[in-house]
A and B are shown apart, each in its own frame.
Chain A
């Protein structure tokens, strides 16, 4: 819709109509769904003291609801819409067939508490996915109970805690985490009762071995490492890190947020990790849904298998029967039922579609794409660590900031005007004005070339017309929003106007 074709006051009216909240659209008597009449005889009512007096929900028609949410959807940027190089988030194409499979009635309508003999299909999928993921990552066993990456981290930390406790090592209370790690790592370790010590990265972006040595002593419970790191670099100190952590009796935990870079190239289990989690919504294409649902798989080595969260699915060949069980030293349940089955089905469907040959191609394409961007942009944007990158590349906008105050934020917002989603900004925290770009394997050279040329153009705009960047984006439903006001005077729900 071109707003310039209608008078401005009408454009404003149109916008405010679209943005009108459901309660402000509500009219007494409007119906959004017809509910059938009761087909059973009238029963005795509950006593009044148990009943609610009023239910202040909106009254809107079905047609209005559809139009309202369709209009709202147009305000969203999505992967289906365009390039989404959001670093560390692996915004790859989400295959449509996976959604279709997940909506099969035999998978979407089944109840989690049905008797095992009535859910053999569902258990078969979980069992096979457990094995597929263990094979891809090189571990002994898998639990699919965690409902998100962060929950899988918590599960991994609770496993670490139980393992040490079971061995009588209650003095092992310290978890080391590199300073480039996601914030969920320290938050998860603390939820599992550990003290967190931050380990710096060295000038090459690897874990600083000297700092690691100094931090390791008898109270070491484990180390959480993202491999490749959030700098998009493979930590080449991995063998030494592994040795030192294990010599001290610690558990090496792998944050698999960036597993996409390693698929088919190396098995983290063979690198020496004791635990790895995988964000199935990143690497294995569960759509992100505007912030979930996700699913976290957790893979462990043999010595930790008895500690996995419940439930695990096992298979008896003799009886040809799948059943649910709880490992004997299990850390327990991570949620009300069996994990995010809908997401597990999609991951299963994805791995089955790609198979051995397809899985093998993921990292190759993802890493070529990231390095292609790196090589074509490094003369325009500062590259703080000059190495071959893995699946993502981290630039810094600090030169622009020094020159005329243009920040990573301004570059990002200007990219929106070019129809591209901004990279991850200001993360990892150790890079000043970070711009973290992850193209994924599902993008074509043509798309990458357009992105590269857009970034180069923005780099020159930053010098010649900085205001253009500071006021960006220019064609979105809202210009930059006042986040300080939102935090100072929280307005978190619709309220009747006086």
Chain B
């Protein structure tokens, strides 16, 4: 079972899952990965660099589209998911689990307040405002 209930969501279709008090995983939602189609390439920043909330940190490519990745939170990258970089299809198959992108040490956990919970995200999707 994926932990979608515990996740926080951005309106750019990224999720955050807190692993400890200040360490979180970041990924893209199933909605985003379904929309992209067959993902063929993921470009992630190096471990040790910082990301800022709602700013671009990487790119995802499908066969005929490019999407920018926006970080849902600010922090320092502790680890990147190398298996996704090597086998981008994982992102299509398992966006909420095996397809996580970054492990980040949060700068400010209060930024989570700027994100949605699952219920809010689902109604955001239904509203068609995405």
Contact = CB atoms under 8 A, between A and B. Distances in A.
Chains A and B touch each other in the complex, with CB atoms below 8 Å apart: yes
Contacts, number: 20
Interface in B12-66: 37-41, 61-64
A485 to B, nearest CB: 9
Contacts of A483: 38, 63-64
A487 B64 CA distance: 10
B89 interface: yes
Contacts of A487: 40-41, 61, 63
A488 interface: yes
B88 interface: yes
A487 B38 CA distance: 10
Nearest to A483: B63
Interface residues of A, number: 5
Interface in A444-498: 483-484, 487-488
Nearest to B37: A484
Contacts of A484: 37-40, 62-63, 89
Interface string B64-76: 1000000000000
B1 to A, nearest CB: 28
Contacts of A426: 64
B111 to A, nearest CB: 31
B82 to A, nearest CB: 15
Contact of A488 (B37, B64, B89): B89
A487 B61 CA distance: 10
Contacts of B38: 483-484
A487 B92 CA distance: 15
Interface in B87-130: 87-89
B36 to A, nearest CB: 11
A484 B93 CA distance: 14
A426 B39 CA distance: 19
Nearest to B40: A487
Contacts of A488: 40-41, 87-89
A434 B63 CA distance: 18
Interface string A416-432: 00000000001000000
Nearest to B89: A488
Nearest to B87: A488
A488 B61 CA distance: 10
B43 to A, nearest CB: 13
A484 B62 CA distance: 7
A426 B88 CA distance: 24
A186 to B, nearest CB: 14
Contacts of B41: 487-488
Nearest to B38: A484
Contacts of B88: 488
B85 to A, nearest CB: 11
A455 B23 CA distance: 56
Nearest to B39: A484
Nearest to A488: B40
A334 to B, nearest CB: 28
A426 B64 CA distance: 10
B130 to A, nearest CB: 15
Contacts of B61: 487
A278 to B, nearest CB: 28
A292 to B, nearest CB: 21
Interface in A99-150: none
A483 B64 CA distance: 9
A488 B88 CA distance: 8
A485 B98 CA distance: 20
20 contacts: A426-B64, A483-B38, A483-B63, A483-B64, A484-B37, A484-B38, A484-B39, A484-B40, A484-B62, A484-B63, A484-B89, A487-B40, A487-B41, A487-B61, A487-B63, A488-B40, A488-B41, A488-B87, A488-B88, A488-B89
For the complex of A and B, the 5 pairs showing the least CB-CB separation, nearest first, are A484-B38, A487-B40, A483-B63, A488-B40, A484-B40
Given A483-B64, A484-B62, A487-B63, 17 more contacts: A426-B64, A483-B38, A483-B63, A484-B37, A484-B38, A484-B39, A484-B40, A484-B63, A484-B89, A487-B40, A487-B41, A487-B61, A488-B40, A488-B41, A488-B87, A488-B88, A488-B89
